[in-house]
């Protein structure tokens, strides 16, 4: 039974992780439009909690309540069978035991470790406090789904895209098929280094200590672990049949089994079922209270001379990577006073309060205008996406980011609503405009999707045409700032604290659907 449960848990975690990863790897936009409607990211525990608090509805927190209830029934099934970061840690552990990595990370037998209850409580209460204070960007620095999203967006997705393009370059006959070259989403080098640093730290920690993060800094693990102490059904050791071989403890990646005392710390157990699958005589059992519900006892004869193996110790030092300021904007860049929030965010405060910086919206953005923030949103907004209009713009007909946000930081809007939505206003700096200096340039007026920029004659000089912005019609898409050839930019977008409707005429909208559960 435990072997079947182990396989089922692994398959479930694999399937759910692939469903989430597809949105990060879909650089060619091959997924059907309906895919985003299932909103798989919102099935994670903490994003569901944030969405419930932001929307003020019980339905938005369905996943949060379901997995909390499941923890009270049968323990931390979310951690073992759903969590994408947990799957990545398990995958890292498996890879560390394959050649040639096993030469560096010698196969390690896990040992029981006492639960760091104070550290786990601090992580949980810190996450709850920051969430209630609207500082979810900081929560995203140690919340599992947000960390997984950062690794996917900053490291793995660009790497996979580069690998695809490299393979395509070797054989041009595939250029129009599966191996077609695709555009690599522009992620600053410093953030790519950060993404791989996170991945490397996770890999080393998993290779040496299994689910170490889950039972130390993870707020979801701390919350579900606290509830699992009161679970109706728990994994336990049967002291009457246990032969004290220690196999269950040696394979427990959560380090929650103490075979010498026949105890299992249910607050740390991630329900991977590895212990039961490895037990030679079925002494790992399910218990409800003091009653054994099921045992896989086969009463196999175990040799007294069974080799439990020698202990191995692998020691590694994770160097501190110094993230330089390479890739930062040059000194001639003019920054807005207020950074724009993506369409559907309703305003800057709602976005910064509820965004956990999972990077899913940035991965879905077809123009790559959404970039991870370093200092653009302040310390509390570290790695939260911001709209970099110097490098791209928000497409007038696009509302992809509003389809995928799991926390209600960006709420769903239809195409029709997007057309009239004003997220910022273009501000003109005549002293920097090359047209004002007598050079012919009408780029901003030509690209504006709502005709909010018109070329008018400059005062006191009837022969020179300069841009004039109709602030009521401007939607703040950033196209004018993007194409402006001046340095610094003569047009920049000042974000609005609260989004509003622009004075533009709109036709029939697109995308009348709504996300399920929202």
Residues 15 and 145 occupy one common structural domain:
yes
User: Minimum mean pLDDT among 262-271, 280-289, 327-336: which range?
Assistant: 327-336
User: Minimum mean pLDDT among 19-33, 146-160, 269-283, 440-454: which range?
Assistant: 19-33
User: Does the pLDDT at position 325 exceed 50?
Assistant: no
Please indicate, yes or no, if residue 286 is contained in any of the structural domains.
Answer: no
Decide: residue 448, CB within 10 A, 0-12 exposed, 13-18 middle, 19+ buried. Answer: buried
Residue corresponding to tokens 């050839």: 485
CA separation for the pair 432, 404 (Å, rounded): 38
Q: Give the pLDDT confidence score for residue 305 in this predicted structure.
A: 34
What percent of the chain is modeled with pLDDT above 90?
Answer: 67
Q: Which of 226, 254, 286 marks a domain boundary?
A: 226
Q: Give the pLDDT confidence score for residue 37 in this predicted structure.
A: 83
The token pair that represents 401 in the structure block: 């980011």
Q: Which residues pair with 258 in a beta bridge?
A: 263
How confident is the prediction for the chain on average, in pLDDT? Answer: 85
Residues 222 and 359 occupy one common structural domain:
no
Q: pLDDT-based confidence at 195, cuts 50/70/90?
A: very high
User: Does the pLDDT at position 448 exceed 70?
Assistant: yes
Tens digit of pLDDT for each residue in 18-67?
999 999 988 777 888 888 888 899 999 999 999 999 988 888 899 999 99
Contacts of residue 69, defined as CB under 8 A and 6 or more positions apart, other chains included, come to none
The CATH number of residue 397's host domain is 3.30.70.20
Q: pLDDT-based confidence at 328, cuts 50/70/90?
A: very low
User: Does the pLDDT at position 149 exceed 80?
Assistant: yes
Tens digit of pLDDT for each residue in 406-432?
999 999 999 989 998 999 999 999 999
Contacts of residue 3, defined as CB under 8 A and 6 or more positions apart, other chains included, come to 273, 276, 277
Angle CA(352)–CA(357)–CA(361) in degrees, nearest 5?
95
Please indicate, yes or no, if residue 124 is contained in any of the structural domains.
Answer: yes
Please indicate, yes or no, if residue 145 is contained in any of the structural domains.
Answer: yes
Q: Give the pLDDT confidence score for residue 166 in this predicted structure.
A: 81
CA separation for the pair 92, 200 (Å, rounded): 10
Please indicate, yes or no, if residue 468 is contained in any of the structural domains.
Answer: yes
Q: Give the pLDDT confidence score for residue 513 in this predicted structure.
A: 36
User: Does the pLDDT at position 293 exceed 70?
Assistant: yes
User: Does the pLDDT at position 437 exceed 70?
Assistant: yes
Q: Give the pLDDT confidence score for residue 81 in this predicted structure.
A: 95
Q: Give the pLDDT confidence score for residue 304 in this predicted structure.
A: 31
Q: pLDDT-based confidence at 337, cuts 50/70/90?
A: confident
What string of H, E and C letters represents the secondary structure of 283-329?
Answer: CEEEEECCEEEEECCCCCCCCCCCCCCCCCCCCCCCCCCCCCCCCCC
Query: Which of residues 3 and 511 earns the better pLDDT score?
Result: 3
Nearest Cα to Cα of residue 92 among 81, 105, 73: 105
Q: pLDDT-based confidence at 106, cuts 50/70/90?
A: confident
Q: pLDDT-based confidence at 253, cuts 50/70/90?
A: very high
User: Minimum mean pLDDT among 151-160, 292-301, 390-399: which range?
Assistant: 292-301
Q: Which of 192, 208, 226 marks a domain boundary?
A: 226
User: Minimum mean pLDDT among 80-84, 160-164, 262-266: which range?
Assistant: 160-164
Residue 480 falls in which region: left (phi positive, over 0), alpha (psi -120 to 50) or beta:
alpha
User: Does the pLDDT at position 284 exceed 60?
Assistant: yes
Residues 204 and 352 occupy one common structural domain:
no
User: Does the pLDDT at position 185 exceed 70?
Assistant: no
User: Does the pLDDT at position 398 exceed 80?
Assistant: yes
Q: pLDDT-based confidence at 162, cuts 50/70/90?
A: confident
DSSP state of 152: I
Q: What is the mean pLDDT of the segment spanning 79-95?
A: 95
Q: Which of 194, 226, 258 marks a domain boundary?
A: 226
The token pair that represents 57 in the structure block: 């509805």
Query: Which of residues 509 and 365 earns the better pLDDT score?
Result: 365
Residues spanned by the domain of 395:
348-501
Q: Give the pLDDT confidence score for residue 292 in this predicted structure.
A: 78
Please indicate, yes or no, if residue 318 is contained in any of the structural domains.
Answer: no
CA separation for the pair 232, 72 (Å, rounded): 6
Residues 210 and 354 occupy one common structural domain:
no
Contacts of residue 278, defined as CB under 8 A and 6 or more positions apart, other chains included, come to 247, 248, 251
- Residues 79-103: b if buried by 16+ CB within 10 A, e if exposed: bbbbbbbbbbbbbbbeebeeeeeee
Please indicate, yes or no, if residue 264 is contained in any of the structural domains.
Answer: no
Q: Are 274 and 6 in contact (CB under 8 A)?
A: yes
User: Does the pLDDT at position 320 exceed 50?
Assistant: no
Q: Give the pLDDT confidence score for residue 301 in this predicted structure.
A: 35
Please indicate, yes or no, if residue 510 is contained in any of the structural domains.
Answer: no
Q: Give the pLDDT confidence score for residue 333 in this predicted structure.
A: 59
Domain tally, the chain = 2
- SS3 (DSSP) at 257: strand
Please indicate, yes or no, if residue 342 is contained in any of the structural domains.
Answer: no
Q: Give the pLDDT confidence score for residue 164 in this predicted structure.
A: 77
């Amino acid at each position: 039974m435990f072997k079947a449960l182990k396989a089922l848990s692994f398959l479930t975690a694999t399937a759910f992780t692939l469903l989430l990863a597809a949105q990060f790897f879909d650089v060619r936009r091959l997924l059907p439009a309906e895919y985003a409607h299932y909103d798989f990211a919102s099935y994670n525990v903490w994003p569901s909690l944030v969405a419930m608090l932001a929307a003020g509805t019980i339905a938005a927190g369905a996943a949060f309540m379901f997995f909390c209830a499941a923890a009270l029934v049968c323990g931390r099934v979310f951690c073992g069978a759903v969590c994408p970061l947990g799957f990545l840690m398990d995958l890292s552990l498996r890879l560390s035991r394959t050649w040639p990595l096993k030469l560096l990370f010698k196969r390690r037998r896990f040992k029981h470790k006492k639960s760091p209850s104070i550290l786990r409580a601090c992580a949980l209460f810190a996450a709850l406090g920051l969430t209630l204070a609207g500082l979810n960007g900081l929560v995203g620095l140690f919340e599992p789904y947000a960390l997984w999203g950062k690794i996917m967006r900053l490291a793995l997705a660009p790497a996979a895209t580069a690998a695809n393009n490299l393979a395509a370059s070797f054989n041009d006959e595939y250029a129009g098929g599966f191996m077609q070259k695709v555009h690599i989403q522009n992620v600053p080098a410093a953030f790519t280094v950060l993404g791989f640093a996170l991945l490397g730290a996770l890999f080393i920690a998993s290779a040496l200590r299994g689910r170490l993060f889950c039972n130390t800094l993870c707020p979801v693990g701390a919350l579900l672990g606290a509830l699992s102490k009161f679970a109706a059904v728990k994994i336990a050791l049967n002291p009457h049949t246990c032969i004290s071989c220690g196999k269950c403890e040696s394979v427990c990646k959560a380090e929650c089994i103490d075979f010498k005392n026949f105890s299992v710390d249910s607050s740390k157990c991630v329900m991977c079922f590895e212990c039961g699958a490895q037990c030679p005589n079925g002494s790992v059992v399910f218990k409800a209270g003091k009653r054994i519900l099921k045992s896989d006892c086969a009463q196999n004869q175990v040799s007294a001379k069974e080799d439990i193996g020698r202990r191995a110790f692998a020691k590694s030092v994770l160097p501190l990577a110094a993230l330089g300021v390479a890739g930062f904007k040059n000194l001639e860049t003019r920054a807005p006073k207020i950074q724009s929030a993506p369409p559907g965010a309703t305003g800057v405060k709602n976005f910064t309060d509820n965004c956990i910086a999972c990077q899913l919206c940035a991965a879905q953005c077809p123009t790559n205008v959404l970039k991870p923030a370093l200092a653009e949103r302040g310390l509390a907004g570290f790695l939260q996406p911001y709209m970099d209009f110097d490098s791209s713009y928000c497409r007038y007909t696009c509302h992809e980011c509003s389809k995928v946000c799991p926390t209600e930081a960006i709420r769903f809007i239809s195409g029709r609503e997007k057309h009239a939505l004003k997220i910022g206003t273009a501000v003109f700096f005549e002293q920097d405009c090359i047209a004002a200096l007598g050079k012919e340039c009408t780029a901003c007026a030509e690209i504006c999707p709502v005709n909010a920029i018109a070329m008018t004659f400059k005062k006191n000089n009837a022969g020179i045409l300069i841009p004039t912005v109709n602030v009521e019609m401007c939607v703040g898409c950033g196209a004018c700032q993007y194409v402006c050839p001046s340095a610094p930019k003569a047009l920049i977008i000042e974000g609005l604290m609260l989004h509003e409707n622009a004075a533009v005429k709109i036709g029939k909208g697109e995308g009348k659907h709504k996300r399920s559960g929202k």
